[in-house]
């Protein structure tokens, strides 16, 4: 560890995609295959250079690892300061992996303006990684906003049907949330200065700050708007079905797998540890919005006739579940929440890829257009089945681990909440299995489907890592949980002090740390 401590690994991970984007600028737009190759290779390298975050990360080590600090704007106390804990390290790995999968999946799907497409995808990649690794709040905000523009273009240029409408809706919703969040950041910044005499955006400093409760309250609301739009929580979710449905496949995959995690990442990284008292106060509000989200998302998903829209609404439901676990504010719940974020990235990312495969072949997303595909595309059907099971939380697959931890965490706080959450899982099984039944089983009624080719090698390659991960997390999650332990305990120790009132009507031992016993016991 010591010999690698000085190596700017995070900067390398951060700027590899950007360097690729710059490189692509100089490639002739006519040589499309060269552009595709370069983009794929760059994304692959981006993933490879992020692997040390898995192997070199020390679960028992310092809170922040791979830290880099450089002066940026000293006159206002902003630094170029990067670092990861177990939580953000896993999210970075998820990002680099999903990024290369998304890029690989676009090979034949994107035939127009190929060069710009890959440039935007790579810039987006840098924005997302930057948001996860920044330990400076201003730097974080910068990357957070940088993500907007490439995503806007991806939806607006390469999307379907109402792409312009969906793109601007996505853009403005997120923007309103994030500018209000900026004000919250500034409020903390000045309060920190008033308390310590230092101008700083250092997140680790903010984690040690005890802000006045009144201020926390307002800042929580400001952050809430920013993060809740991204998650997206009911009632701020309305941009999501449109954006997901109209985005190109790779856009949907990135959106579901990584961008939505920005919101939940923000809550765990900023809202909970910086604003613990306010967090406690807002638990009922967040929990109820999450419960509504779980049920509402699932019910609307049940009613969808559009395959992609169904998956989009399932995201609303699943992310609400993530929020539910997080706001149980105990170690098990937060652990489950984080694991479920990773799981959602894997399974929903895969589900969007699955829709993308048939959309590319048939150019329709109507569920009724399909049926009996398992006879024509057997490999495809198997992949879809695995991912459906992963999504609905079948034991031995990843979804189960996340959901059981969330339920466990919520249960000790309030049994009613747990009951509602469990019903969300049942509904989730309903709409996913029904979708599977309508598209895969039965007779091939539609002659257009009769000659659909099964997955080719490239397409299969996009699914293999996701299936491997789903099984790995499902059977042996402890390497993941071990890496998350210190992140979870850090957050819980911040919100622990005021945790007692919640405990009163809940269980007794929810405050017991998950640490080794849980991580090793699975």
Partner 1 sequence: MPAGFSAADFYNILPELVLTGGALLVLIVDVLTVRQQRSLLGWLTFGVLSATLLALLPFSDANTVASRGLLAIDGFAFFFKVIFLLTALVTVLMSSSYIEVEQLRAGEYYFLILCATLGMMFMASGIDLITILIGLETMAVAFYILAGFLKPNRRSNEAAVKYFLLGAFSLGILLYGMSTLYGLSGTTNVRELATALASQERSALLIVGLVMVVAGIGFKVAAVPFHMWAPDVYEGAPTPVTAFLSVGSKAASFAMLLRLFMEGLPFLADVWQPMFWVLAVVTMTVGNLAALTQSNIKRMLAYSSIAHAGYLLIGVVANSSRGVAAMMIYLLLYVFMQLGAFAVVVMLRRQDVVGDELKDLSGLYFRYPTAACAMLFFMLSLGGIPPTAGFMGKFWLFSAAIESGFFWLAVIGVLNSAVSLYYYIRVVVFMWMKEEALGSPIVASPSMAVALTVALAGVVVFGVYPRPLFELAQVSAQSLGGVVAAVGALSF
Burial class (CB in 10 A: 0-12, 13-18, 19+), 160: middle
Q: Which is nearer to partner 1, 132 or 463 (CB)?
A: 132
- Report d(CA 41, CA 30) in Å as an integer: 19
Q: Does residue 194 bind partner 1 (CB under 8 A)? A: yes
- Report d(CA 160, CA 359) in Å as an integer: 11
What lies within 8 Å, CB to CB, of 90 at 6+ separation is 338, 342, 480, 483, 484
List 7, 37, 190, 441, residue binding partner 1 (CB under 8 A): 190
Q: Which is nearer to partner 1, 22 or 433 (CB)?
A: 22
Number of alpha carbons in the 13 Å side-chain half-sphere of residue 392:
19
List 12, 45, 109, 183, residue binding partner 1 (CB under 8 A): 183
List 2, 28, 75, 443, residue binding partner 1 (CB under 8 A): 75
Q: Does residue 175 bind partner 1 (CB under 8 A)? A: yes
CB 249 within 8 A of CB 352: yes
Q: Does residue 152 bind partner 1 (CB under 8 A)? A: yes
Q: Does residue 198 bind partner 1 (CB under 8 A)? A: no
Which residues sit opposite 65 in a β-bridge?
Answer: 84
- Which range touches partner 1 (CB under 8 A), out of 30-38, 60-68, 167-175, 298-306? 167-175
- Is the CA virtual torsion 465, 243, 120, 355 positive or negative? positive
Which DSSP symbol is given to 306? Answer: B
- Report d(CA 384, CA 394) in Å as an integer: 14
- Region 121-140 residues binding partner 1, contact defined as CB under 8 A: 138
- Give me the least distance between CB of 364 and partner 1, in Å please: 23
- Region 208-237 residues binding partner 1, contact defined as CB under 8 A: 218
Task: Determine the 3-state secondary structure of 462 from DSSP.
Answer: helix
Please name the residue ranges forming H helices in 134-202: 137-146, 148-158, 163-196
Instruction: Count other Cβ atoms within 10 Å, centred on residue 168.
Output: 14
- Report d(CA 229, CA 340) in Å as an integer: 19
List 3, 6, 60, 74, residue binding partner 1 (CB under 8 A): 74
List 67, 176, 299, 394, residue binding partner 1 (CB under 8 A): 176
Residue listed under structure tokens 């995503």? 151
- Report d(CA 276, CA 206) in Å as an integer: 12
Q: Does residue 288 bind partner 1 (CB under 8 A)? A: no
CB 444 within 8 A of CB 333: no
Q: Does residue 37 bind partner 1 (CB under 8 A)? A: no
Q: Which is nearer to partner 1, 182 or 382 (CB)?
A: 182
- Which range touches partner 1 (CB under 8 A), out of 175-183, 310-318, 371-379, 452-460? 175-183
What lies within 8 Å, CB to CB, of 106 at 6+ separation is 117, 118, 121, 248, 249, 250
Q: Does residue 180 bind partner 1 (CB under 8 A)? A: yes
Q: Does residue 201 bind partner 1 (CB under 8 A)? A: no
Q: Which is nearer to partner 1, 180 or 452 (CB)?
A: 180
In 235-346, DSSP assigns E strands to none
- Give me the least distance between CB of 112 and partner 1, in Å please: 11
List 49, 168, 299, 498, residue binding partner 1 (CB under 8 A): 168
How much is the CA Rg of the chain, to the nearest whole Å?
22
CB 208 within 8 A of CB 254: no
Residue 86-125 contact track with partner 1, rule CB under 8 A, x = bound: ----------------------------------------
- Which range touches partner 1 (CB under 8 A), out of 180-188, 317-325, 334-342, 368-376? 180-188
List 4, 41, 51, 172, residue binding partner 1 (CB under 8 A): 172
| Element holding 73 (H helix, E strand) | strand 65-73
- Which range touches partner 1 (CB under 8 A), out of 6-14, 150-158, 347-355, 449-457? 150-158
| Element holding 69 (H helix, E strand) | strand 65-73
- Which range touches partner 1 (CB under 8 A), out of 15-23, 189-197, 257-265, 453-461? 189-197
- Report d(CA 468, CA 410) in Å as an integer: 29
Picking from 245, 266, 228, 247, the residue whose alpha carbon sits closest to that of residue 91 is 266
- Give me the least distance between CB of 205 and partner 1, in Å please: 17
Q: Which is nearer to partner 1, 145 or 454 (CB)?
A: 145
Q: Does residue 498 bind partner 1 (CB under 8 A)? A: no
Q: Does residue 281 bind partner 1 (CB under 8 A)? A: no
Number of residues that bind partner 1 (CB under 8 A): 33
Q: Is the peptide bond before 232 cis (omega within 30 degrees of 0)?
A: yes
Q: Which is nearer to partner 1, 152 or 463 (CB)?
A: 152
Q: Give me the residues that bind partner 1 (CB under 8 A), please.
A: 71-76, 138, 141-142, 145-146, 148-149, 152-153, 156-157, 164, 168, 171-172, 175-176, 179-180, 182-183, 186-187, 189-190, 194, 218
């Amino acid at each position: 560890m010591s010999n690698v401590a000085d190596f700017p690994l995070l900067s390398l991970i951060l700027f590899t995609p950007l360097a690729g984007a710059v490189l692509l600028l100089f490639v002739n737009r006519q040589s499309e295959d060269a552009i595709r190759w370069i983009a794929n290779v760059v994304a692959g390298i981006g993933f490879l250079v992020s692997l040390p975050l898995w192997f070199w990360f020390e679960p028992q080590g310092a809170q922040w690892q791979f830290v880099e600090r450089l002066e940026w704007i000293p006159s206002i106390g902003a630094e170029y300061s990067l670092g990861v804990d177990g939580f953000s390290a896993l999210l970075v790995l998820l990002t680099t992996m999903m990024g290369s999968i998304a890029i690989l999946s676009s090979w034949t799907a994107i035939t127009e303006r190929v060069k710009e497409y890959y440039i935007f995808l790579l810039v987006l990649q840098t924005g997302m990684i930057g948001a996860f690794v920044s330990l400076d709040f201003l730097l974080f905000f910068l990357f957070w906003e940088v993500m907007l523009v490439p995503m806007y273009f991806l939806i607006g240029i390469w999307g379907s049907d109402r792409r312009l409408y969906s793109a601007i809706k996505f853009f403005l919703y997120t923007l309103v949330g994030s500018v209000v969040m900026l004000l919250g950041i500034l409020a903390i910044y000045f309060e920190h200065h008033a308390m310590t005499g230092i101008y700083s955006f250092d997140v680790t400093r903010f984690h040690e700050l005890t802000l006045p409760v009144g201020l926390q309250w307002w800042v929580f609301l400001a952050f809430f708007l920013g993060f809740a739009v991204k998650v997206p929580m009911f009632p701020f979710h309305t941009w999501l079905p449109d954006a997901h449905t109209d985005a190109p496949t790779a856009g949907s995959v990135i959106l579901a797998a990584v961008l939505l995690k920005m919101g939940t990442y923000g809550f765990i990284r900023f809202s909970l540890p910086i604003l613990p008292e306010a967090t406690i106060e807002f638990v009922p509000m967040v929990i109820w919005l999450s419960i509504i989200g779980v049920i509402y998302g699932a019910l609307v998903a049940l009613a969808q006739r559009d395959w992609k829209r169904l998956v989009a609404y399932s995201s609303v439901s699943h992310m609400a579940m993530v929020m539910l676990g997080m706001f149980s504010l105990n170690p098990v719940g937060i652990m489950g929440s984080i694991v479920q974020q990773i799981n959602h990235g894997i399974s929903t990312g895969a589900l969007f890829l699955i829709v993308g495969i048939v959309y590319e072949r048939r150019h329709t997303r109507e569920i009724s257009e399909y049926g009996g595909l398992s006879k024509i595309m057997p490999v495809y059907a198997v992949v879809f089945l695995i991912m459906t099971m992963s999504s609905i939380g079948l034991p031995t697959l990843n979804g189960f681990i996340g959901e059981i931890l969330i339920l466990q965490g919520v249960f000790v706080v309030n049994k009613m909440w747990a009951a509602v959450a469990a019903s969300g899982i049942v509904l989730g099984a309903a709409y996913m299995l029904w979708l599977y039944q309508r598209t895969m089983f039965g007779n091939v009624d539609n002659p257009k489907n009769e000659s659909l080719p099964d997955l080719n090698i490239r397409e299969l390659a996009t699914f293999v890592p996701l299936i491997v991960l789903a099984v790995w997390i499902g059977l042996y999650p402890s390497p993941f949980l071990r890496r998350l332990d210190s992140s979870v305990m850090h957050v819980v120790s911040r919100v622990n002090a005021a945790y007692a009132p919640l405990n009163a009507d809940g269980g007794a031992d929810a405050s017991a740390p998950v640490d080794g016993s849980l991580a090793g016991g699975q």
